[in-house]
Amino acid sequence: MIALLTTLGGKERSVAQDLCDCLYGNGDTQVRCEPIYPGVLFVEFQRRETLELCLSMKYFRVLVRRIEIYEKVVRSTETPPGAKKVGDYIFLGRYI
pLDDT (average), residues 73-86: 91
Distances from the Cα of 1 to the Cαs of 8, 11, 38, 45, in angstroms? 23, 22, 22, 6
Of the ranges 19-23, 56-60, 86-90, which one carries the lowest mean pLDDT score? 86-90
pLDDT at 96: 62
Parent domain of 68: 2-94
| pLDDT over 80 (residue 23) | yes
**Distance between CA 19 and CA 76 in Å, rounded?**
26
pTM over 0.85: yes
CA 73 to chain centre: 10
pLDDT digits (tens, 9 = 90+) for 35-72: 999 999 999 999 999 999 999 999 999 999 999 999 99
Number of domains in the chain: 1
CATH classification of the domain holding 37: 3.30.70.1650
